[in-house]
Amino acid sequence: MTMYPVLVVDDEVPIAELISITLSQIGLPCVQAHSGSEAADLIESQRFDLILLDVMLPDVDGFQLMDYIRPTGTPVIFLTARTGVNDRVRGLKLGAYDYIIKPFAAPELLARVEGVLRHSGRRDTLLRAWDVVVDPEARTAAKNGVPVPLTPHEFDLLLALLHNRGITLYRSALLELVWGMDADPSNRTLDIHMSRLRRKLGWENHIRTVPRIGYMLEEENAP
């Protein structure tokens, strides 16, 4: 299955950057646009698996931009600070898959993005590494066909590692991804969960600790 990037459309550059970094942690490349007209040009020139679209843009707003998007069949999630029911209903009636209110936590964004990609058939569902098979939709993991009981946080950590094999994930990024923006990077919660995840999967030699930085899941062909 060919993978295309996610288009992040938001006139606030720091928010667009944060969204892109968050999605990259689960293996989703992103392209950014900071105005409606810039987004329209990109939509006409290349393909995307998903569009995260801010409603309040400085030129062409997100609702108007749906006229450019609908013919492509690309799924859309609206991102906005508008909390009114009428705005949410309007966005959904225009064809958006979902509508997320700002500010949002990274785990919520990732859950909704992955849900839309699965529902639209733009991602294979099963992830495999060594003798473990993971179903992100059902949130289950099995080792040699035997179910492995994981807590929600352990499962989220496993997904982050699987989507970034061979890449060191910073402690701060994992904490925000799994526990939210207010997580305390100085506590031992992450280390405890990672230790339990290693033991449950029998991956003591596959999940590497990178001192003072974070964790990495080695690639299957690593020595």
Using left for φ > 0, alpha for ψ between -120 and 50, and beta otherwise, residue 89 falls in alpha
Owning domain of residue 179: 127-217
d(CA 176, CA 109): 12
- pLDDT single digits (tens) 113-155: 888 887 777 665 678 888 888 888 778 899 888 899 999 999 9
d(CA 15, CA 50): 17
Cα separations (Å) of 199 from 171, 181, 192, 204?
19, 27, 11, 6
Using left for φ > 0, alpha for ψ between -120 and 50, and beta otherwise, residue 179 falls in alpha
Cα separations (Å) of 195 from 43, 81, 188, 191?
44, 38, 11, 6
Q: Place 185 in a pLDDT band, splitting at 50, 70 and 90.
A: low
Lowest average pLDDT, out of 46-50, 144-148, 203-207, 219-223, goes to: 219-223
Same domain, 83 and 19: yes
Pairing state between β 6-9 and 50-54: parallel
* Cis peptide upstream of residue 103 (ω within 30 degrees of 0): yes
Same domain, 184 and 210: yes
Look up the pTM and report it.
0.63
Same domain, 86 and 68: yes
Output DSSP code: residue 168: P
- pLDDT single digits (tens) 41-65: 999 999 999 999 999 888 888 899 9
CATH code for the domain of 203:
1.10.10.10
pLDDT for the residue 35:
92
